[in-house]
Structures are given as structure tokens and as C-alpha cells.
Amino acid sequence: MIECKNLVKNYLNGDVETQALKGISFRIEKGEFVSIIGPSGSGKSTLMHILGALDSPTSGQYFLDGVDVSGLGDDELSDLRRNKIGFVFQSFNLLPRATVLRNVMLPLLYSGTSQKEREERARECLRYAGMEESKFQNLSNQLSGGQMQRVAIARALINNPSIILADEPTGNLDTKTSHIAMQTLRELNEKGHTIIIITHEKEIADLTDRIISVRDGVIESDVRVNSNQ
Amino acid sequence: MFTDLFKETIRSLAGNKIRSGLTILGIVIGIASVITMVSIGQGAQSSIESNIQSIGSNLIVISPGAQRGATVSTGRGSAQTLTVEDAEGIKAQVADIKGVSPEVSKRYQITAKGTNTNTQVVGTVPDYLDVRSLKVDFGSFLTDQQNKTSAKVAVLGPTTRDDLFGINADPIGQTIRIKNVDFEIIGVTLSKGGSGFMNPDDQIYVPLTSAQHFLSGDTFVSTISVAATDQNSMVLVQQQATDLLLQRHKIIDPTQADFNIMNQTDIVATASSITGTFTILLSSIAGISLLVGGIGIMNMMLTTVTERTREIGLRKAVGVRKIYINLQFLAEAVVLTFLGGGVGIFLGWLASLLVAKFVNLPAQVSLSSILLAFGVSAGVGIIFGFYPARRAANLSPIEALRYE
């Protein structure tokens, strides 16, 4: 359901062209729990941006549910992000002066869904992500890191996306909270969501089923860890 | 869709009350100051015009000029060259005149029972009523008999009466004291609705001879007012009066005349040029306020959008289409400028009203000033609120999210 064929991404920095991705190809099936691991500068963030339809490759093709994303325009990419992709950003990127509920409902803006349904879905996703009911009306900048993470996960879930992309989901959390967050993602995966985690931490990657390591813009290794797949 | 847009706009504005408040404040100040300035300017203009109209109609005013011939030229108007005889000569020998009134006027401190005021005291003759188109409200005006006997009687303007005896009181029979001389009040003139410096409602009239005997102490007059019978005869009357006075003062060269003669048209023209300058002055002050206000709005809008680039990136990343981001920022700018505009117009109107009430200036809010002020502020607010947001919405979501 995700298929990358020879993805290349070049950045032009002044007159110097740097190649962030030098031909990457892989397939991720529905329901997988994958981590993409690599040191900084390896191209893993670029890859995540392309997988998340936030950026388009210089050459190569990227198919999401059979649709060639590389050829889409700005509005079509927006629609694709809204309908098929859930993001969990490293810095959570919540609206600071908005309530938890409003943050979770953000992707449903301008979608034509009724206010009532939006709230119901948001509450459901928040419970799903393990958020305490009493905090639903809190402002998001009054939350702890772990709680923000849950809100970010709930927001990623709200449109029932095909894939959930988590960029360094534990990067801003302590070890204990990190494990809880990973546990939540694991539970989501068990409920059938495809989850892709971008990380540089080996021990976080070890908690997933498949580890794709990227180095210098190419895939170094692609191994399935857990046998329960 | 539109309910979403509306809610997002309101939440976003309410979410940062200080930011929204400051932006609105900038707009309010810009708009309110322009409206107030322009209304004061126009009020001053109409006030001056109505003052001139209230002097009288078809009026020619003769005032003393500089005394020439001597080696030293004293200031214009300071000379004492006009006499009652000059006035009588004009009345007797110039055709087409309705009346002539010689006047001696000076400001004095006036005291009544327990109250006092400072106002213009005019010594004049009964013709003054016709010349200045003045009417008596109650009591009577000065008579020739009182003039002959230098009677110590006075007629008050309605404003002076209000100041000394209370509003709409009947002061007839009471006395006022001018320069330690008691004058009995015999009448009150009808209000002419003038205001400001040369207000005919704020004057005291006494017989000319009384003014000369008890107040000025000499036989000169400070002005001679001549009313022509109609507009058409004014030029002729002015010419004849000039010739007569030159002859009486034994001056051959008209450029050496020791008096000034002005008709009302000249006065209006002079005043118009003064108010014109005044209006330009106020307009430029208003223009500067508008400019400063505009820059304030621009600043606030630009900072707001820059600060919110990450938010724009987030919205794009979660799949909000560019058009809705643009629309939201446009709506925010519109709401801010309209709120600020509304409050600004209200405050400007209120300020003009207060000025009209307390400064006694007929300040009126004009539609053109509202439109100008509102147009400029709204234009600046919307352009600088919308344009940078549009730029941010065109960034790729990653760039916008990374924006610090």
C-alpha cells in the first residue's frame, strides 16, 4: 500500500546541490509497524516528508494506496494529507492557545463534518490515545509532554488515516513516557493502523516490527525484527 | 464551511486578546483622530463664517489707520483719527445708506452683584441696531436722548446677561459697574447665535458719549460702521465715504489715508483665507495621524503573520487547503479593521461632540472624513494582514513548520 520506486531528492543550497536521497525503493504493507532509523543527515527526515506528502521527490515515484503522489498539485496534496496521513510531530505542533479538543479537531476544519460529529470523533480518538477525559477542555500549553504527545496522536487519528507518521515521537519525552508512547503506538498498530516511526534511537526502533535503516541517502538494511508479524 | 471560517477567526482573535487589542487600538486611534481633526477644522470654518455673517449685512467698516506725515508711523489701527463728526458727516452727505454708527469699544472687567466677567463694552448710537441688524429681546435699546445726556445706562448681550445674572434672568433695572462707574441696565439684545472672539451676544452697549466721558476719556471713536441700503450700492457708498473722509482729513493723496475702509466682502475673503490655512493645517495633522496609524496597523499585522507562520505550516500539514488559510487570515484582518473602525468612528464622533459642547465650536462629523479614515485603515489592515499570510500559505508546510 506504500510503494517507493527509486526516490531521489536534491536540495539546492545556494549553488551547491546536495543529494539527500539517492534512489530509495521499498514497500510497506497495510498494518505494518515500521521504523526508519538513521543518524542525522542520513536523509530520514526528507524521506518522512515525502512519505507524508509534505514534499515531493526530485525524481522517482511514490504510490500511496495506488495513487502516484509525485504528480499531485498543492490542493490535492492537502486533501491527501487530510484523508490518508496522520502526523505526530517531534515538537507536537499543537495550537498553544486552543483547547485539547479543538487541537484534535483541527484536521476536520472545512471538511463539512458537523460540529457534533467532530466532537464525538475527537473524544473517541483522545480516549483511544489514552488521554484523561478531565483534560479535554484544557489549553494545550498547560499540558505535560506526555499529554501533548497523546493529543498529537489523537489528532493524527481523527481522519482514520491509512498511515500514521511519527517523527521522533519520543524525542521530547523522558524514558518512562517514551515507553508509554510507544505502547500506545503499538496498541494502535494492533488495531490495524499502519505506523511508520522516524527515529535515531536504536532502542526505540527495536520496539517495532521492521527496521529500515537509512544512511547517506540510501537504504543500508531492511530487517524484520519481531516474529509476531 | 463558512461557520468554520467564522469560528476559526473569532477563536484566533479571542485566543490572543492582547495582540488583537493592540491592533484594534492602532486602528481606533488612526480613525478617531482623523475624524475629530477634520470635524474641528470644519467646525472652526463654519463658526468663523457665521460670526462674520452675524456682524450685519451690507456693512462697511471704517477703522483708524496709521498716522502719516509725521516721521514716526504708529501701528495701523492704533491711531486716533476718527471722530463722531466724521460719522455725522458721512450720514449727512453720503447717499444710499441705511445707518451710520460710530463706536468706541474696549474690553473691561464688569462687576454686578457678586458676579463679574470680562467683556467688550461698545459705546454707540441708536443707529447701531440697524447697522448691525441687531434686535432687542426685552427692555429698550439706547436712545438719542441718552446719548445727548451721557446717561449711565447699558444694554446687555444675552451671553453677558447669562454670565452676570444667570441664564434668562431679567436684569432690567439692576446695575453693573464698569471702570468704577455704575450703569443701569435698560435692555437685553436678542441672540444672534454668533460665537467666539467677536461675539455680538457677549457685549455690553452703552451710549457713545457715556463711553467717551466715563470710559475712554477722549473724543475719538474706534470704528465707524456704515450700512448701505443694499448690496449693489456698497461700492458707491464705500467710494463716497472714502472721498468725504479724505476731504475732511485734508489728505490729497489717497495712499496716505489715515484710515482703513473695509467692506464685508473683504472681511469674508480675509477670513476665508485664514480658515483655509487652518483647514490645511488640521488636515495635515490628520494626515500624519492616519499615516502613523497605518504604519501601526501594518506593523502589527506583519508581526502577527510572521509569528504565526508555524501555525500556518501546521494547518497545511494536517491538510487544510491553501484557500482556507488565506480566507481565514483575510477574515481576521477584516474583523480587526472593522471592529477598530467601528470603535474609531464612534470615538471620533464622541470627541467631536464633546468639542462641540465644551469648546463651543460647531464641530460636525463629515461622511467624507469617515470614509477616508476608514478606507485607509481598512486598506492598510487588510493588505498587510492578508498579503504576508498568503505568502506564508504558499510556503511548503515543512518550511513553514521549521520557521522560527
| Three cell numbers, residue B301 | 499585522
DSSP output for B28-65: HHHHHHHHHHHHHHHHHHHHHHHHHHHH-SSEEEEEE-
Range of the domain at A49: 2-224
| Three cell numbers, residue A120 | 464525538
The CA distance from B298 to B293, in Å, is 9
For chain B, what is the mean pLDDT?
84
Of the two residues B286 and B32, the one the predictor is more confident about is B32
Per the DSSP assignment, residues forming a β-bridge with B188 are B138, B156
Q: Distances from the Cα of A17 to the Cαs of A9, A12, A21, in angstroms?
A: 10, 4, 12
Q: Distances from the Cα of A14 to the Cαs of A11, A17, A18, A58, B394, in angstroms?
A: 9, 8, 10, 17, 21
| Residue in B with minimal Cα distance to A157 | B318
Q: Provide the domain count of chain A.
A: 1
**Looking at the structure, do residues B42 and B153 belong to the same domain, yes or no?**
no
Angle (CA) A97-A101-A102 rounded to 5° is 50
- Judging contacts by C-beta atoms under 8 Å, the chain B residues touching residue A102 are 11
Which pLDDT score is estimated for B132? 84
DSSP output for B265-294: HHHHHHHHHHHHHHHHHHHHHHHHHHHHHH
* B32 within 8 A of B351, measured Cβ to Cβ: yes
The CA distance from A68 to A61, in Å, is 7
Of the two residues B176 and B194, the one the predictor is more confident about is B176
In B, residues 291-320, which contact A (CB 8 Å cutoff)?
Answer: 310-311, 313-320
Q: Distances from the Cα of A221 to the Cαs of A5, A21, A225, B229, in angstroms?
A: 16, 15, 12, 114
Cβ separation A106–B16 shorter than 8 A: no
| Residue in B with minimal Cα distance to A49 | B398
**Residue A89 counted as domain residue:** yes
Which pLDDT score is estimated for B79? 58
Which pLDDT score is estimated for B275? 76
Cβ separation A79–B321 shorter than 8 A: yes
The CA distance from A94 to A136, in Å, is 14
**Looking at the structure, do residues B233 and B97 belong to the same domain, yes or no?**
yes
Alpha helices in B166-218 (DSSP H): 208-210
Mean pLDDT of B254-268: 81
| Residue in A with minimal Cα distance to B397 | A54
**Residue A229 counted as domain residue:** no
Residue with cell 457677549: B202
Look up the CATH number of the domain holding residue A199: 3.40.50.300
Range of the domain at B251: 82-257
**Looking at the structure, do residues B95 and B213 belong to the same domain, yes or no?**
yes
Contacts of A111 (CB under 8 A, 6+ apart): A82
- Which residue among A83, A109, A155 sits closest to B320, beta carbon to beta carbon? A109
**Looking at the structure, do residues B284 and B319 belong to the same domain, yes or no?**
yes
The CA distance from A188 to A128, in Å, is 8
Residue with cell 473691561: B108
- Which residue among A79, A97, A107 sits closest to B15, beta carbon to beta carbon? A97
Which pLDDT score is estimated for B298? 78
Which pLDDT score is estimated for B372? 84
Please return the burial class of A75, using the count of CB atoms within 10 Å of its CB with bins 0-12, 13-18 and 19+. exposed
**Looking at the structure, do residues B224 and B307 belong to the same domain, yes or no?**
no
Q: Chain A: nearest CA to B278, how far in angstroms?
A: 50
Interface test with B, best of A49, A54, A165 (most B CBs within 10 A): A54
- Judging contacts by C-beta atoms under 8 Å, the chain B residues touching residue A85 are 319
**Looking at the structure, do residues B242 and B387 belong to the same domain, yes or no?**
no
Backbone dihedral region for residue B228 (phi beyond 0: left; psi -120 to 50: alpha; all else: beta):
beta
| Three cell numbers, residue B213 | 466721558
**Looking at the structure, do residues B8 and B139 belong to the same domain, yes or no?**
no
Q: Does B277 touch chain A (CB under 8 A)?
A: no
Report yes or no on whether pTM surpasses 0.80.
no
- Which residue among A75, A81, A112 sits closest to B317, beta carbon to beta carbon? A81
Cβ separation A81–B401 shorter than 8 A: no
Q: Does B395 touch chain A (CB under 8 A)?
A: no
**Residue B61 counted as domain residue:** no
**Looking at the structure, do residues B229 and B367 belong to the same domain, yes or no?**
no
- Which residue among A55, A83, A112 sits closest to B396, beta carbon to beta carbon? A55
**Residue B392 counted as domain residue:** yes
Confidence of residue B67 (pLDDT cuts 50, 70, 90): low
**Looking at the structure, do residues B127 and B178 belong to the same domain, yes or no?**
yes
Cβ separation B314–A78 shorter than 8 A: no
* B159 within 8 A of B201, measured Cβ to Cβ: yes
CA A34, A36, A37, A40 dihedral sign is: negative
> Beta strand pairing status for A194-199 and A33-37?
parallel
Cβ separation A107–B397 shorter than 8 A: no
The CA distance from A199 to B83, in Å, is 107
| Residue in B with minimal Cα distance to A111 | B1
pLDDT above 70 for B194: no
Mean pLDDT of B55-79: 64
- Which residue among A74, A98, A107 sits closest to B318, beta carbon to beta carbon? A107
**Residue B265 counted as domain residue:** no
Three-state SS at A79 = helix
Which pLDDT score is estimated for A229? 44
Q: Does B69 touch chain A (CB under 8 A)?
A: no
Q: Please determine, for the modelled complex, whether the ipTM score is greater than 0.90.
A: no
Other CB atoms closer than 10 Å to residue B31's CB: what's the count? 32
The CA distance from A52 to A90, in Å, is 14
Phi, psi of B153 (to 5 degrees): -125, 155
| Three cell numbers, residue B89 | 458727516
**Looking at the structure, do residues B184 and B148 belong to the same domain, yes or no?**
yes
| Residue in A with minimal Cα distance to B17 | A97
Cβ separation A54–B397 shorter than 8 A: yes
The CA distance from B394 to B370, in Å, is 35
Which pLDDT score is estimated for B343? 93
Which pLDDT score is estimated for A218? 92
* A191 within 8 A of A29, measured Cβ to Cβ: no
**Looking at the structure, do residues B230 and B157 belong to the same domain, yes or no?**
yes
Which pLDDT score is estimated for B386? 83
Which pLDDT score is estimated for B66? 60
Where does a domain end: B257, B280, B312?
A: B257
**Residue A174 counted as domain residue:** yes
Mean pLDDT of B291-295: 79
In B, residues 8-27, which contact A (CB 8 Å cutoff)?
Answer: 8, 11, 15-16
Q: Provide the domain count of chain B.
A: 2
B335-372, pLDDT tens digit by residue? Answer: 888 898 899 999 999 999 888 888 777 778 888 888 88
Interface test with A, best of B7, B16, B318, B394 (most A CBs within 10 A): B318
Residue with cell 460647531: B362
| Three cell numbers, residue B126 | 441708536
In B, residues 75-104, which contact A (CB 8 Å cutoff)?
Answer: none
| Three cell numbers, residue B7 | 469560528
Which parts of chain A have pLDDT scores under 50?
Answer: 229
| Residue in B with minimal Cα distance to A92 | B314
- Which residue among B8, B322, B324 sits closest to A74, beta carbon to beta carbon? B322
| Residue in B with minimal Cα distance to A77 | B319
